[in-house]
Amino acid sequence: MKRILKFLRHHKKESILAPAFKMLEALFDLLVPLLMADIINRGIASGDDGYVLTGCGIMVLLGIIGLVCSITAQYFSAKAAVGACAVVRRSLFERIQALDFSDTDSLGTSTLITRMTSDVNQLQNGLNLLLRLLLRSPFVVFGAMVMAFIVSGKEALVFVAVIPVLSVIVFGIMLKTIPRYKTVQTKLDSITQSARENLTGVRVVRAFGREEEETREFEAKNSSLRSSQLNVGGISALLNPLTFVVINVGIIAILKLGGFEVNTGTLKAGSVIALVNYMSQILLELIKLANLIIQITKAMACAQRIDSVLEMKPSMSFGELSADDADSDIAVEFDHVSLTYTGSGEASLSDISFTAKKGQTIGIIGGTGSGKTSVVNLIPRFYDATSGTVRLFGRDIKEYDKQSIRRTVSTVMQKTLLFSGTIRSNLLWGNANATDEELWAALETAQAAEIVRSKPQGLDEPVEQGGRNFSGGQKQRLSIARSLVANPDILILDDSASALDYATDAALRAAIASLKNELTVFIVSQRANSLIHADLILVLDEGILVGKGTHEQLLATCDVYRDIYDSQFKKAGATA
């Protein structure tokens, strides 16, 4: 929470003025019962209507001044809370962007979304109330007790007895609810994850007829969340009735003792009314304080969840060597590389070794789950090898700085994604300074030029979120063009032509092969036909490199490759 409160330092003026104006408003509120007692004791008791009207006018004036102070405090507190949480969101987003793939995998997408949205909103509401009521409510409570001593020292002893009891109730409930609100937020993460998975995979769910099972699973999580919310809500709900009971007992005591003193002439009726008003003020402030504490406990739980992300440090550390200055004929080298993902019991890759020279085309093939994507994810250093060494242009990849690796290695992901905007804005992700000629050249190579020419606005054709207004093949070709715009030294195509027909796939490979001679290309594919002309083919099976060589060599020496080739060609009556 301390880290979160530091974000208020950019709004010091607002953070001081908001509680200051609230304290000023509270001061005027504390003066009203004294003024009322004076009106009753002097004006009404003596029948002086002028004194009564003057006193009422002063009360109205105090009310107007208090209202202005309240509005001013609300303005400054809202400005500080919104401004601070804007910084929190930005810092949280920057931290998430800085985390490695393994870090985001371990945290989970759903919890990061919840922390960026729901948790920050809860924190904003908590900060707003904190600035307005944290000082005001205690000030009124203890100020009312001081005023009670001014009115009557004997009657004020009731306040001395009531306030500690109320403090025990308030802080006891707060200590009980804080951990439970954390549990509620965790279960909300699970609900978000389930909803996200079902919305993303709605076609799969319907294809397998799993609607009822997914609905039951969601209802179970929803019921668990509801139970937790009811539990913590039940505890929080005790706050108001318990404080009402204590306050009303205090009022009864004041009326009894005050009535006795009025009868004996040691206390005036207006003073009793002032004491009751002060007790009522304490009641109202404690109700506000109760709501404040409930909101702050939620905000504290959310702040701790946000802080846990802000405290995370990327597990990878990068060197200062620039890949642009590296000079070696060997583009990529794997030296006995193994990889085990965080939280995974088994290794995804085991003892992988190969060498890719500049200008070569490297094919990677294998069954589903054999580790093909894991191999290419190590080249741009999305993940670090668990053991062994990955070398880029003859140097350990850990010696290079991140940006130079990203400039040198361009990856077309297995799952293609276009961002909302235009075709041009998507292509410029590869190189923000690229000219239209460079964009069209990349589109021609990626076999996507005709797609763009067929659109009414060409490069400025709108792209919906995720590229919904483009087919799978069109998105793949545009994604390849985006990577080519970066003009990389190493191009990775991670099964990024799976939606293309064989003719387009062949034209794409031919166009890429005609690019600069030193471009090293890694092609991950399920199609043996796409890799036949590769300089080196890597065959993976359950994370193990079971074969490497040219197409002819692997047909003669690798059973796994031969089985894949035969299943796609000979059994279909095709020829190589």
Three-class secondary structure assignment of 31-48: HHHHHHHHHHHHHHHHCC
Average pLDDT, integer, range 117-134:
87
More confident call, 409 vs 151: 409
For residue 245, the model assigns a pLDDT of 87
For residue 576, the model assigns a pLDDT of 40
Q: DSSP 3-state assignment of 253?
A: helix
More confident call, 570 vs 154: 154
Alpha-carbon distance of 88 to 6, in angstroms, equals: 10
Yes or no: say if 431 and 483 are a contact pair by the CB < 8 Å rule.
Answer: no
Average pLDDT, integer, range 250-271:
79
Read off the pLDDT band of 462 (50, 70, 90).
very high
More confident call, 188 vs 457: 457
Tokens of 94: 């920057």
Average pLDDT, integer, range 501-521:
85
Average pLDDT, integer, range 123-137:
86
Average pLDDT, integer, range 58-69:
89
Q: 44 exposed, middle or buried (CB, 10 Å; 0-12, 13-18, 19+)?
A: middle
Q: How many helices (H) and strands (E) does the chain have?
A: 22, 12
Average confidence score pLDDT of the chain: 86
For residue 2, the model assigns a pLDDT of 66
Yes or no: say if 543 and 368 are a contact pair by the CB < 8 Å rule.
Answer: no
For residue 1, the model assigns a pLDDT of 58
The owner of tokens 């036909």 is 529
- Does the pLDDT at position 454 exceed 50? yes
For residue 479, the model assigns a pLDDT of 92
Q: At residue 468, what are phi and psi to the nearest 5 degrees?
A: -60, -25
Q: What is the dihedral of CA 352, 356, 361, 363, to 10 degrees?
A: 0
Tokens of 242: 């318990």
Name the maximum alpha-carbon separation found in the chain. 118
For residue 575, the model assigns a pLDDT of 42
Residue type, 99: L
Alpha-carbon distance of 448 to 500, in angstroms, equals: 11
- Does the pLDDT at position 574 exceed 50? no
Tokens of 78: 């809202």
Yes or no: say if 561 and 555 are a contact pair by the CB < 8 Å rule.
Answer: yes
Of the listed ranges 112-116, 320-324, 376-380, 476-480, the one predicted with least confidence: 320-324
Please report, for residues 31, 104, 159, 464, 526, the alpha-carbon distance to residue 278 in angstroms, rounded to integers and kept in the order given: 10, 54, 9, 60, 79
Q: DSSP 3-state assignment of 201?
A: coil
- How many other CB atoms are found less than 10 A from the CB of residue 30? 18
Strand order of the β-sheet with 490-494 is 395-396, 387-392, 330-339, 349-357, 544-549, 536-541, 361-366, 520-524, 490-494, 409-412
Tokens of 386: 């668990």
Write down the pTM of the prediction: 0.71
Q: At residue 178, what are phi and psi to the nearest 5 degrees?
A: -55, -55
- Does the pLDDT at position 528 exceed 70? yes
Q: At residue 471, what are phi and psi to the nearest 5 degrees?
A: -75, 170
Q: DSSP 3-state assignment of 177?
A: helix
Alpha-carbon distance of 136 to 130, in angstroms, equals: 10
